[in-house]
Structure formats: C-alpha cells, structure tokens
Amino acid sequence: MQSAFARRSIFLFCCFGALISMLHTSLIQAATLEARPGGKSIKTCIDQARAGDTLLIHAGHYHEGNINLNKRLYLRGIGWPVLDGDKKYEIISVHADSVHIEGLRIINSGYSSLNDIAGIRLYGSKGSTIRNNQFDNNCFGVYSEYGRSCLIEGNRFRAYGKEEILSGNGIHCWKSDDMRIIGNDIQGQRDGIYFEFVTNSIIWRNNSHGNIRYGLHFMFSHHDAYISNIFSRNGAGVAVMFTHGIRMFNNFFEWNWGDAAYGLLLKEISDSYIEGNYFSHNTTGLHMEGSSRIQILRNVFERNGFALRIQGSCEDDSLLHNDFVGNTFDVATNSSVSRNFFSENYWDKYEGYDLKHDGIGDVPYHPVSLFSTVVENNPPAMMLFRSFMVTLLDKTEKVLPSITPAGLKDDSPMMKRNVRPPNIKHESG
C-alpha cells in the first residue's frame, strides 16, 4: 500500500502537471499576429488567428473592403493605421463576443439610403470594446444592434454631411442593453448619439457638438443614465422621447439656437430625474410635453430665450431649487391650468421682499408673464418685445391676473441662488 506521503506527492505532481498544461495551452492560444503594408493583410491575419489572439496592425493605408470579425480577437493599431472603406463598404463587421478594437483610423465608409452602413458595426456582440479610435467621414460611426455589455470609449468622430437624409449617427445603439458610452467626441453627424430600445445603459463624459440634428436622441429607452456630457451647438439640441426611468445629471445644454431648437426636449417622459444640469444660450432651455412625475432639481437656466416651456399636458412634475437667471422668459405654457409644483427656486426677476429674513420671499412669484403667453400662441408678436406697451401689459397682469395661469407659481421663491454657477472649462461661446 502507498503511504500517505506518497499519495500526497502523486496528487501534487498531477496538479503541477495540469497547471503546466493549462499555461502551455494558454500560451498557444494567445499568439500575436502582425499586419503591415507589403506583408500580411488584415484579412489574412484574421483567417490565421485563433480566438483570443492579438492582431497588431502597423501604420499604413489599408483598402481591404469589408473586414469580418467572427472570432474573439484583440485588434490594436500601431501608429494610427488607416482602414479605408473607399466610400463603398462597411469597414469592420463584428459577429463575435469580447472583441477589442483600439488605435485605428476608420474612414470613408459606404453610404446608402436603404442600409445603415457603419465604420464599425456590432451584430449581437456581447462584452466588446471599441476604444480610442478615430472615425472620419463615415455614414454611421459605431452601430450596435442587439449589443450587450459593450464599451464605446474615448473615440473621435467627424463627419461632413449637410443634410439629415444623407448622414448617419456617430454612435447608434438599437435594441441593446448595458451599454457604456464614455468620453467620446462627436461632431458633424446627423445625431451625435442615438438610442432606440436601449436599456440599463450609461452615457458619460461625452462631447457631442455641431451635429446636424440632435446631440443626443433617444426613444423607448428606459432606465438609462446621462451624466456629465456636453451638448452644444447642435441643430435642435437633445430629444428624449417615450421613455421612463431616466436620470440626467450634471450635463451642459448650450448654444442651441433656431426656430425649433432647445437645450432639452422631454416628450412623453415619466418617473425620471433631471438634476444639476446647466441650460445656457438656447432658444428654449427645457421643453416639456406629456411629461409626468419628473423631478427637476438644482438646475441652472441662464441666458436662454425661454428657460422653460411646460405644456398643459404635463402633470405631477416638481421643480425645486433651480436657478433662473438672465432669461428672456422664465416660464411659458399653453394652458391656463397648472398641475405641476414649483417651490424654492431662485428667480432673478422676482421683486418681492423677505421681512422674515429666512432667505425665502414673503409673496409668491408668478413666472409666466402675459407677453410670454401671447408669444406662445402668436409667435410673430415677439416683434413687440421690449416695447412700452408690453411692459405695461405685464405690470397690469401682475396686479390683476386674468390670462396667465394663477396656479403656476412659486410660493417660496428664494432670495439668493440655490446653485453655485458652474466652473465652465470647455469651449462654449
């Protein structure tokens, strides 16, 4: 019979052998292949690679049409190699999970009015990463359909279309879940970022500016968070539609001017939080239609045409501790009835007093002026702005209110600002 010592020795030897075998297998699987001009092509390397291999793509200009990734690979560019779609092809099509693509210049994808052609397109991919790439002159930049737990981070997108119909979106996600869109810079696309049927995802620290239509556009996308992004100088601002359970914290909505432009449009939104955002230099800072149970807290509305447009279809929304400073009109509505709650906001146009010295005005503030109501129903009347007659009408309405909604008021207006003005470090003017 074997002694206990012998049995333990055999057991340890077997374990050591198994470990060596696993390491050997791992080293065999984790090979590195290299593509370079005049050497192996990218497609050849992909064909020869095994799942888990690394493909280094050296500097150069590659015209390889559509590149199909159907296995788990790590693609890394050395010296910013250029993958050129020659305005014909979808450049990289990802049909595998856990793919990593980094350090590439993706340019000149095809364009089509029937198919959504992208620089990189994820087809049902799970756990993939698209990081630190440059996208130039593509229809769509990164397109995810049925993606899950993917990371799109630190990429730069530039497009040059002039019309919506001939342009695609920078980052487009459709029927995806647990997506992370972080630190990208997007300019010149139709929409900077587009979500449709996307859930449980985060959009964080992106700069979406100078796009043809929206900096951010999402519909039917629930339980998502939008944090510390900059949306500036876009055609119509940001649009959020037919969604519930969103959280928008510490974003900048700036310099969105035009007849139908706004910093942020909320349409048919419910059970959401809009907190700590900065709305500045927009035709309309925040436009709300059909919204319900929205908490709008500690935002700054500064130097907008209309700070807030809240339609009669909105109900049970709460506006608390916001600052309204330097806006042409603070609040406008198309209804004589208000079913929303305003309290402890700061209004720079408030002319009341604080005899109790508690920091809260002793008389309510009615933020809807008569002239804003007139303009809401008759936009050409804006030509009369700043005339003596308009001033007289507004003063009369404050004394004897008859047209503006009596229920839309702040019973506890603050005498000082609630929010410290943001320390703006980005280009906004």
Residues 279-334 have pLDDT tens digits of 999 999 999 999 999 999 999 999 999 999 999 999 999 999 999 999 989 999 98
d(CA 73, CA 70) in angstroms, rounded, equals 9
Query: Which residues are CB-contacts of 36 (< 8 A; sequence separation ≥ 6)?
Result: 57, 58, 60
The half-sphere exposure of 178 on its side-chain side, counting CA atoms within 13 A, is: 9
What does pTM read for this prediction? 0.87
- Of residues 62 and 115, which shows the higher confidence score? 62
Distance CA 400, CA 257 (A): 34
> What pLDDT is attached to residue 377?
59
- Tell me what pLDDT residue 322 has: 98
The dihedral built from the CA positions of residue 369, 374, 377 and 379, taken in this order, carries a sign that is negative
CB 199, CB 175: distance < 8 Å: no
Average pLDDT, the chain: 88
Element (H, E) at 373: helix 370-377
Query: Of 187, 272, 283, 280, nearest to 236 (Cα)?
Result: 283
DSSP state of 186: E
CATH 2.60.40.1510 describes domain 33-235? no
Give the start-to-end residue ranges of the domains of the chain: 33-235
Q: With cut-offs at 50, 70 and 90, classify the pLDDT of residue 336.
A: confident
Name beta bridge partners: 230. 207, 252
Counting DSSP H helices and E strands in the chain, the numbers are 4, 38
Q: Are 195 and 239 in contact (CB under 8 A)?
A: no
Rounded to 5 degrees, what are φ and ψ at 181?
Answer: -110, 105
371: pLDDT confidence band, cut at 50, 70 and 90? low
pLDDT band at 375 (very low <50, low <70, confident <90, very high): low
Amino acid 4: pLDDT = 56
Q: What does the DSSP 8-state code read for residue 165? A: G
Q: Do residues 187 and 212 lie in contact, with contact meaning Cβ atoms separated by under 8 Å? A: no
